[in-house]
Structure 1
Amino acid sequence: MSGFRIVGVGPGDPELVTLKAARLIGAADVVAYHQGVGKRSNARRIVAGLMPEGVVEEVFEYPVTTGRTDHPGGYDGAMSDFYDDCERRAVAHLEAGREVVLLAEGDPLFYGSAMYLHDRLADRFPTEIVPGIPAFAAATAASGTPLVRHTDVLTVLPGTLPVPELARRLADTDGAIIMKLGRRFPGVRDALEQAGRLDGAVYVERASMEAQRLLPVADVNPATVPYFSLIVVPGDTKPAPAVSSLAEKSAELLVIGLGPGPDDWLTPEAAAALAEVDHVVGYAPYVNRVPQRPGLQRHASGNTVEVDRARHALDLAKAGERVAVVSGGDAGVFGMASAVFEAAEDPAYADVPIRVLPGVSAVQAVAARAGAPVGADFAVLSLSDRLKPWEVIERRVRAIAEADLVLAIYNPRSRSRTTQVADLRAILLEHRAPETVVVVGRDVGRAEESLTVTTLADLDPESIDMKCLLIVGASSTRVTPAGRVWTPRFVE
């Protein structure tokens, strides 16, 4: 049976083609390759000396290489039609029993067009992928600078990312490769400068080719940057933590609530404080919300190490560093403030002053979207049993239900906690009427926001996840004809 081979031919130097790639190319009936409009395929140039006599060449010429096209489906529509045509042409050869080799610059599955034909053909024909030396490996070798050492983290980034996001990722990693430059180069340079990684970053153009060129990124003329270029950011260039053990006095540790999500919900006080600190510590998604700027060091961690990250922040502050611990919503509502004070009970941190800056809480955000469901007495409860047993949660739910308080529920359900919302509903129905109002807010403040007003009887536990916050009304909670939810301040 015929075979489909996707062969990586390396970054440009014909001598960097692997022996296996050379063997398969030499035995091919058909050699296919992509090329730009009005251009010659670089992959074809690399293997020119390996092409067998009489081989059939299939040239897959892109209809467009930018986002502009007259196709009725736009760029995506034009490219979909293009790959449909490539598929038909490849299939015709394969069904005729021919060995088809598709050339791919660098490595086939690393930002390569070949993967799209792989997706279409791999389940229909015997398919083999031959790895190739990626361009960044050739660029790193050309720069002569070790990219990463020991436990360094390497991140490969497209230059097409928004500048703030690119700067954030550059600041958070050790070594980095930035690809897809071209006209994006000015923004990439700005991101490197914002992240404090411009010094030591190396621009490599046409790595391993005769026209190879290397320059410090700071010296590159943006008008001269071609597609075949990338930037190497060695791990050795990451600034070392600026922690001094000789600090005369501990710095104040700030604990800051970032609000539920939108930048507009970050308080001016919090924004001003974040602009002054040198370190931000927190759960990774919250740290990611803090804009990167020169000199800012970010310390992101997982979701279940609150006290460990609090100790890290306290150690930095004790050494005289300006540090902020960040939380989503309000740091004092199921956030990092309590964890910081827990860690600070250690006498070693007795001289570290701690200040908590408030933020808009998730319950406030959902309540505001709904109307005024917490306009009277209410309780707030986390349904997570990670730090307290379910028996305690159940006892508190019963007490709140018997007291006829509005109840806001954080952390209602996770992948490992799938029955607790149903259990909560059952307990509440022992004390509340089935028509009790329930508000379900999901991703409030974000693009995916949704708000559902239902009843305790109609609440579907399976529809709830960790992105939700629930507000269960009291017996007095009402819904207006316009669907607004409110709870009277008075008790009849």
Structure 2
Amino acid sequence: MSGRLYGVGLGPGDPELITLKAARLIAAADVIAFHAGVGKQSNARRIAADLIPDGVIEEELRYPVTTGTTAHPGGYAGAMAEFYEESAARLAVHLEAGRTVVVLAEGDPLFYGSYMYMHDRLADRFETEVVPGVPAFAAATATVASPLVRQTDVLTILPGTLDEPELARRLADTDGAIIMKLGRTFPKVVSALRQAGRLDGALYVERASMPEERWLPVADVDPETVPYFSLIVVPGDTKAPLSHPRPLSLSKGIGVSTSSTSVAELLVIGLGPGPDRWITPEVTEALAGVQHVVGYAPYVNRVPQREGLTRHASGNTVEVDRARLALDLALKGESVAVVSGGDAGIFGMAAAVFEAAEDDAYADVPIRVLPGLSAVQVVAARAGAPIGGDFAVMSLSDRLKPWALIEKRLRAVAEADLVLGIYNPASRSRTTQVADAQRVLLDHRAGDTVVVVGRDIGRDEESLTVTTLAELDPATIDMKCLLIIGASGTRTTAAGQAWTPRSTS
């Protein structure tokens, strides 16, 4: 009969924070396993030392590397994967012999812990139980005695190993935060906190619940003194309230007194289809100088967080509401950029801003649109030159216009023998439009008409397919796609590239 595996959380360091259940299991174990760093004693074993019975089998699982370089051909990841395989194999021998194995884990076993790698490799073969422990951040917040999050506040737990721009963005977008994995990452983390406007009020806690525990403001910490057993607490109460004059959800613009401030110009910016290399220098320069960025959350997330920047992200169907928010901020004299993917003037936020600006309250707000690379351009470039002559661009979304009008325009484009770029071809709630459009176009175009399907162009998942109108499979098309339907003269090269001769378009 096989033994039983336990992943036992010991809490953050104080032996008195070990749960009664954890203590009972440790005292009854046949085998006690614990991880240890290179050249160091196991902290997990130190915490549980007084509970480990005499004569128990001990398995020290010593890491081959923790930081720095390794000669392993697979690098750090390869060395660690091999180590975990070997460690799991050692524990499996005891489990197959019917022994009870307790793996000691600092904090909680499944929270940034090494136990989880044993669990991944053994839980499907042996009876397993995880015993939770007090995580380090809970001890740290108790140490500083500062409320972390209240009511509807959002708490985000972040590893300091994240890239600095991503760390700054997430810190700016959350209420409360815990930052783990410091040590050598500390200077970068401090920079990210500063960029996010969260450095004031951020608290550094070292060795929480241990005898040598200490804490102080992050700004006062010497980076050279930061050990692994440390973290940063960013209480939700330290997040500055947004400075816009009213909630985004309001649907009617209101005037804002500008007696003490001058009205600022409102920028509407196209970020291009995805990669940073496709953002224009003009846009980069403009974003570096604004105080606020407003837009659909995935586009706002593409703007690097920096000190002095406030981000206003929202959902995908409140374009006019967020335009009014941006206009209200500009009325107060705040510098604002409304961002769109691709080009803001092509099915983007530019039209929504001008729609909202028809309200007399915004008559004095100057609006400037900065162009961006459009999706139809990059798909065409990847395919060859399918829009080398006259072409039309349409959206198949019927959220703002009826399908009957879309179908009428499809017929007009087809009858005019124009190349057609199609945005927003399908979504989870719109599953028939591509097939309907295909049917309409086939009434006027031959089945062998060239069709280009670009998906996630410019991103890691990029794919490009050149097919025909008859062979196009609507089931394969979603919102990540842009279609280019060729004209009668559009053709392909021997290499499969699509192009439209100027003489026939």
TM-score over 0.5 (shorter chain)? yes
Farther off after superposition, 248-257 or 183-192: 248-257
Pick from 279, 299, 313 the counterpart of residue 300 of structure 1. Answer: 313
Could you tell me which residue of structure 2 aligns to residue 49 of structure 1?
Answer: 50
- Aligned partner of 1:229: which letter? S
Pick from 362, 371, 378 the counterpart of residue 384 of structure 2. Answer: 371
Could you tell me which residue of structure 2 aligns to residue 6 of structure 1?
Answer: 7
Contact in 2 for aligned 1:37/1:65 (Cα 8 Å): yes
Matched, 1:395 2:408: yes
Deviation at 1:147, TM superposition (A): 1.7
Deviation at 1:446, TM superposition (A): 2.6
Structure 2 CA distance, aligned partners of 1:145 and 1:187?
24
Pick from 275, 285, 296 the counterpart of residue 298 of structure 2. Answer: 285
Farther off after superposition, 97-106 or 390-399: 390-399
Contact in 2 for aligned 1:30/1:101 (Cα 8 Å): yes
Unaligned runs of 5+ in 1: none
Alpha-carbon displacement from aligned partner over 1:407-452 (angstroms, at most 9, x marks no partner): 1011223233334323322332222112211122222223333333
Q: Secondary structure of the residue that 2:502 maps to in structure 1?
A: coil
Deviation at 1:134, TM superposition (A): 0.8
Contact in 1 for aligned 2:85/2:121 (Cα 8 Å): no
Unaligned runs of 5+ in 2: 246-255
- Aligned partner of 1:184: which letter? T
Could you tell me which residue of structure 2 aligns to residue 247 of structure 1?
Answer: 258
- Aligned partner of 1:61: which letter? R
Q: Percent identity?
A: 75
Farther off after superposition, 9-18 or 230-239: 230-239
Structure 2 CA distance, aligned partners of 1:391 and 1:18?
66
Structure 1 CA distance, aligned partners of 2:469 and 2:73?
48
- In structure 2, the CA distance between the partners of 1:179 and 1:28, relative to structure 1 (3 Å rule), is same
Could you tell me which residue of structure 2 aligns to residue 218 of structure 1?
Answer: 219
Structure 1 CA distance, aligned partners of 2:504 and 2:313?
47
Could you tell me which residue of structure 1 aligns to residue 399 of structure 2?
Answer: 386
Contact in 1 for aligned 2:244/2:328 (Cα 8 Å): no
Structure 2 CA distance, aligned partners of 1:391 and 1:124?
59
Pick from 479, 482, 496 the counterpart of residue 466 of structure 1. Answer: 479
Contact in 1 for aligned 2:244/2:325 (Cα 8 Å): no
Deviation at 1:151, TM superposition (A): 2.0
Could you tell me which residue of structure 2 aligns to residue 421 of structure 1?
Answer: 434
Alpha-carbon displacement from aligned partner over 1:258-279 (angstroms, at most 9, x marks no partner): 1112223222332222122111
Structure 1 CA distance, aligned partners of 2:347 and 2:385?
22
Matched, 1:155 2:127: no
Matched, 1:183 2:184: yes
Alpha-carbon displacement from aligned partner over 1:69-115 (angstroms, at most 9, x marks no partner): 22233322222222222222222222222222111111111111111
Structure 1 CA distance, aligned partners of 2:217 and 2:444?
70
Structure 1 CA distance, aligned partners of 2:123 and 2:430?
39
Deviation at 1:218, TM superposition (A): 1.8
Pick from 348, 357, 377 the counterpart of residue 344 of structure 1. Answer: 357
Farther off after superposition, 436-445 or 324-333: 436-445
Deviation at 1:46, TM superposition (A): 0.7
- In structure 2, the CA distance between the partners of 1:24 and 1:52, relative to structure 1 (3 Å rule), is same
Deviation at 1:365, TM superposition (A): 1.6
- The 5 Å alignment of 1:442-457 reads 442-457=455-470
Pick from 248, 265, 270 the counterpart of residue 278 of structure 2. Answer: 265
- In structure 2, the CA distance between the partners of 1:67 and 1:398, relative to structure 1 (3 Å rule), is farther
Structure 2 CA distance, aligned partners of 1:418 and 1:122?
41
Structure 1 CA distance, aligned partners of 2:220 and 2:407?
65
Alpha-carbon displacement from aligned partner over 1:141-178 (angstroms, at most 9, x marks no partner): 11222222222221111111111111111111121111
- Aligned partner of 1:51: which letter? I
Structure 2 CA distance, aligned partners of 1:67 and 1:369?
41
Contact in 2 for aligned 1:243/1:320 (Cα 8 Å): no
Could you tell me which residue of structure 2 aligns to residue 135 of structure 1?
Answer: 136
TM-score under structure 1 length normalisation: 0.94
Alpha-carbon displacement from aligned partner over 1:116-151 (angstroms, at most 9, x marks no partner): 221222223222211111111111111222222222
Deviation at 1:243, TM superposition (A): 4.7
Matched, 1:37 2:50: no
Structure 2 CA distance, aligned partners of 1:44 and 1:218?
33
- Aligned partner of 1:145: which letter? S
Could you tell me which residue of structure 1 aligns to residue 448 of structure 2?
Answer: 435
Could you tell me which residue of structure 2 aligns to residue 59 of structure 1?
Answer: 60
TM-score under structure 2 length normalisation: 0.92
Could you tell me which residue of structure 2 aligns to residue 201 of structure 1?
Answer: 202
Deviation at 1:351, TM superposition (A): 3.6
Q: Secondary structure of the residue that 2:93 maps to in structure 1?
A: helix
- Aligned partner of 2:482: which letter? L
Farther off after superposition, 13-22 or 94-103: 94-103
Farther off after superposition, 423-432 or 186-195: 423-432
Q: Secondary structure of the residue that 1:412 maps to in structure 2?
A: coil
Pick from 307, 310, 325 the counterpart of residue 338 of structure 2. Answer: 325
Alpha-carbon displacement from aligned partner over 1:169-196 (angstroms, at most 9, x marks no partner): 1111121111111111111111112222
Structure 2 CA distance, aligned partners of 1:53 and 1:419?
71
Farther off after superposition, 342-351 or 271-280: 342-351
Could you tell me which residue of structure 1 aligns to residue 88 of structure 2?
Answer: 87
Structure 1 CA distance, aligned partners of 2:25 and 2:348?
58
Alpha-carbon displacement from aligned partner over 1:307-333 (angstroms, at most 9, x marks no partner): 232232222223332111100001111
Deviation at 1:246, TM superposition (A): 5.4
Structure 2 CA distance, aligned partners of 1:10 and 1:395?
67
Deviation at 1:470, TM superposition (A): 1.0
Across the aligned residues of Structure 1 and Structure 2, the Cα RMSD in angstroms comes to 2.1
Could you tell me which residue of structure 1 aligns to residue 253 of structure 2?
Answer: none
Q: Secondary structure of the residue that 1:47 maps to in structure 2?
A: helix
Count the aligned residue pairs.
492
Structure 1 CA distance, aligned partners of 2:53 and 2:325?
62
Contact in 1 for aligned 2:172/2:197 (Cα 8 Å): yes
Farther off after superposition, 454-463 or 230-239: 454-463
Structure 2 CA distance, aligned partners of 1:175 and 1:86?
37
Contact in 2 for aligned 1:243/1:321 (Cα 8 Å): no
Q: Secondary structure of the residue that 2:373 maps to in structure 1?
A: coil
Alpha-carbon displacement from aligned partner over 1:232-276 (angstroms, at most 9, x marks no partner): 112222223345765324332221111112223222332222122
Deviation at 1:67, TM superposition (A): 5.9
- Aligned partner of 1:385: which letter? D
- In structure 2, the CA distance between the partners of 1:246 and 1:422, relative to structure 1 (3 Å rule), is closer
- In structure 2, the CA distance between the partners of 1:33 and 1:389, relative to structure 1 (3 Å rule), is farther
Q: Secondary structure of the residue that 1:490 maps to in structure 2?
A: helix
